[in-house]
Structure 1
Amino acid sequence: MKKEEGKTGVGSVLKKSVWKLVFLVIVIIVIWLTLKDSWEEIWSELNHTSWKIIAGVFSLSILYNCFDGIAVAKLVRNYAPGFAWQDGILCSFYYSFFRVVTFGSGTAAAGMYYVNKKGIPVSASLGIFTLNYTVQRAAICLYFIFGFLSNYGEMNHQYGGYQKEMILGSVLAVVTVAVLIIFCTYRPLHKKTLALARRAAQKDTQREKIDEWEEKAVLVRTEAYRVLKNRKLLLNVIMLNFLKLSMWYFIPAVVFQMLNSPKLSMLMSVAAMMTALSGVIPAPGGVGAVEFVFVLLFTPLVGRTKAASGMLIYRFSTYILPFLFGAVVVLKTQVLSKRKEEK
């Protein structure tokens, strides 16, 4: 029996080692696939860019994730006061990796998984990350509106033809925020949804699963109410979202060497409009929405050539760089997890 148990133990260790190796290979393949189509042109652009600009852009990119992580940590600490600030920042980089790997669909799930490894239950993290996303969408909408109004004359002159898209983008943002808040807090919606699920359930296992969902719905509502009632916390998280967005919105000004320009506020407002409208203005086939809208909106201000080169650096600093840092965090997390299992 002891020999058989020993063999089983060795087999289990070998299986885990193989899966870790497979995971590492998958990460490397994903990184290669992400960079292969754009690395050559991005690398060429970086080579022709001043190291001071590159350092500034990279610093802003990292600061974005730092502010984002602190906002996550603040929400988590409202539930678990012992949650470390650095874990919030690492969590931000962690789901930045999965945002690329899953094309945005697995971002929240990755964040929930990371904090779950730190002892935060899934039911609580669901409410936390839903609210975090809700505040982010609200901040994007407000930033765009404030930026547009503060530079109304020039914004209306340059981009008056996109009034319908601006209104649609703002309406979609407001509707998204409202739907997410209702999803987290509206008890009658939960009850009706679960009642319909119970009627459709035919097996005991399905009914047991619905009971689990009901318990989770109660916990999600509790966590949502806890955050929404804490006005100081909400204000802090909104301010952190404004700060993190400002880091990305500063990047075009750094790239175009216009930090001391009187047009700085205008450049940041255009960057805010780009984020708000990237899902509204249709992009030609084969071109990313953000990249297309970046060139479209910045061309009237700096010319098409500068706008196109600036877009490459912006794309790298806001998309690929956090992804690469996130890959390091993912690999480190896997290594630490393996060591704990071995102990």
Structure 2
Amino acid sequence: MKKNPKWKIVLNLILLLLILGIMFYFIQNSMREIFVELKETNLVILLGVIFLGLLHQFFEGYGIKETVGSFAPNFSVFDGMMTSFYTAFYRVVTFGVGTLLAEIGFYKKKGIKISQGVGASALHMISYKAAIVTYAVLNLFFYFNAILNQRPKMIAVIITGIVLTVLLIVTLIVLSLSLNLQVLVLLFCNRFIRNQKLRVYIDQFNLQINALHHAMQSVLNDRTSLLKIYLFNLLKVGAWYVIPFVCLQEEFNDIDFFLTFALISFTLVVSGVIPSPAGIGSFDFVYLLMFRPLSGTVDAVSSLLLYRFASYVLPFLLGFLVFLKERRTAITTEIENSSQI
């Protein structure tokens, strides 16, 4: 039995009000310090941070377009940017839990099957992690002696972050490309796992891996596209990595650009393997651990808040606009349907 269109309108309005309430909570609590910092920031630096944040999203849009291009040729760069904004919005309001579902849901709205959306989301994560590891490995190679002399204990932490990230990438790739491994896992589960609740999760996981397999095969058949995805991810991550230098160079004229680039690359690879809701708490901790010896606590916190604005708040606010447009369309559609009854 279908729901009455009037009830759908009410549910959409309730959802909108709920989201607005959550947004108010985040702005009043988690984001207040960031907005205070924005008011005290030099306009030139602020514009530079905003530009780098948008540049990241531009390259993100290109990367997503290439990722889904094999099964959605009409998917544009703008659609890719909207996907990123929409996902960033739901990452915040769901405390990171709904990130994957939001991305897959947006793909579905663009006519991409759920199975393909799952595969595209996994490829998106793999390419992003590959870019992070690339920068971390290169910077560790060039700054190994400097870190060893100044903070020798950090070497083991950075290497651990790199190794765990590589293991995650390799695991996803192996699971997605090896049909034999998928069959062996399925046979093992059929024989030894009897709990029905666990079986449901295992079956869902197997479907996702199977979808990822097809998506990976589609992309791997086009090596040029694969290279583009990797390069766009290097560019998008690189845009964020310039932000600490932009924030700190006003107070520290002699600060080394490449050193700040290296420190933020280590921050991303280490914080990415520390469990935390939406990755925010772990990132803040590692960022200050990396930058405090370089700039002092006050300037490190200031640059952190500006970095979080570009990488966290800005895409969230843009995603809110995408969400409003989506809700407006949904409510308008339901009102039109209700008037026709």
- TM-score over 0.5 (shorter chain): yes
Whole-Å separation in 1 of the counterparts to 2:6 and 2:245: 52
For 1:112, the equivalent position in structure 2 comes to 104
Is the contact made by 2:132 and 2:265 (CA closer than 8 Å) also made in structure 1? Answer: yes
Root-mean-square deviation over aligned CA pairs: 2.9
Aligned residue identity for 2:236: K
* TM-score normalized by the length of structure 2: 0.86
1:151 to 140, 143, 159: 143
Whole-Å separation in 1 of the counterparts to 2:28 and 2:194: 47
Q: Using a 3 Å threshold, how does the CA distance of structure 1 residues 167 and 215 change in structure 2: closer, same or farther?
A: closer
Whole-Å separation in 1 of the counterparts to 2:267 and 2:32: 25
Is the contact made by 2:37 and 2:305 (CA closer than 8 Å) also made in structure 1? Answer: yes
Work out whether 1:274 is the aligned partner of 2:267: yes
For 2:303, the equivalent position in structure 1 comes to 310
> What are the equivalent positions in structure 2 for 1:75-114 lying under 5 Å apart?
75-114=67-106
1:265 to 239, 249, 258: 258
Whole-Å separation in 2 of the counterparts to 1:248 and 1:217: 30
Is the contact made by 2:118 and 2:211 (CA closer than 8 Å) also made in structure 1? Answer: no
Structure 1 unpaired stretches of 5+: 1-7
1:10-40 CA-partner distances (Å, limit 9, x unpaired): x722111111111111211121222222444
> What are the equivalent positions in structure 2 for 1:94-243 lying under 5 Å apart?
94-195=86-187, 218-243=210-235
Q: Using a 3 Å threshold, how does the CA distance of structure 1 residues 220 and 170 change in structure 2: closer, same or farther?
A: closer
Measure how far apart 1:340 and its partner are.
4.7
Measure how far apart 1:326 and its partner are.
1.0
Work out whether 1:250 is the aligned partner of 2:222: no
Q: Which moved more, 1:177-186 or 1:219-228?
A: 219-228
Secondary structure in structure 1 of the residue aligned to 2:161: helix
Work out whether 1:60 is the aligned partner of 2:52: yes
Is the contact made by 1:60 and 1:248 (CA closer than 8 Å) also made in structure 2? Answer: yes
Secondary structure in structure 1 of the residue aligned to 2:72: coil
Which gives a bigger RCO, structure 1 or 2 (Cα 8 Å, sep 6+)? 2
Secondary structure in structure 1 of the residue aligned to 2:152: helix
Whole-Å separation in 2 of the counterparts to 1:266 and 1:96: 28
Whole-Å separation in 1 of the counterparts to 2:30 and 2:227: 39
Secondary structure in structure 2 of the residue aligned to 1:103: coil
Aligned residue identity for 1:96: A
Is the contact made by 1:158 and 1:300 (CA closer than 8 Å) also made in structure 2? Answer: no
Secondary structure in structure 2 of the residue aligned to 1:288: helix
Q: Using a 3 Å threshold, how does the CA distance of structure 1 residues 52 and 146 change in structure 2: closer, same or farther?
A: same
Whole-Å separation in 2 of the counterparts to 1:182 and 1:132: 16
Secondary structure in structure 1 of the residue aligned to 2:151: helix
Whole-Å separation in 1 of the counterparts to 2:322 and 2:4: 25
2:293 to 289, 292, 300: 300
Q: Which moved more, 1:192-201 or 1:301-310?
A: 192-201
Q: Using a 3 Å threshold, how does the CA distance of structure 1 residues 305 and 260 change in structure 2: closer, same or farther?
A: closer
1:42-67 CA-partner distances (Å, limit 9, x unpaired): 23322221111111111211221221
For 1:332, the equivalent position in structure 2 comes to 325
Is the contact made by 1:281 and 1:293 (CA closer than 8 Å) also made in structure 2? Answer: no
Measure how far apart 1:152 and its partner are.
3.5
Larger radius of gyration: 1
Q: Which moved more, 1:98-107 or 1:297-306?
A: 98-107
Secondary structure in structure 2 of the residue aligned to 1:237: helix
1:265-308 CA-partner distances (Å, limit 9, x unpaired): 1111111111111245799xxx9211121111111211222112
What percent of counterpart residues are identical? 31
Q: Using a 3 Å threshold, how does the CA distance of structure 1 residues 170 and 214 change in structure 2: closer, same or farther?
A: closer
Is the contact made by 1:100 and 1:323 (CA closer than 8 Å) also made in structure 2? Answer: yes
* TM-score normalized by the length of structure 1: 0.85
> What are the equivalent positions in structure 2 for 1:284-299 lying under 5 Å apart?
288-299=281-292
Q: Using a 3 Å threshold, how does the CA distance of structure 1 residues 216 and 291 change in structure 2: closer, same or farther?
A: closer
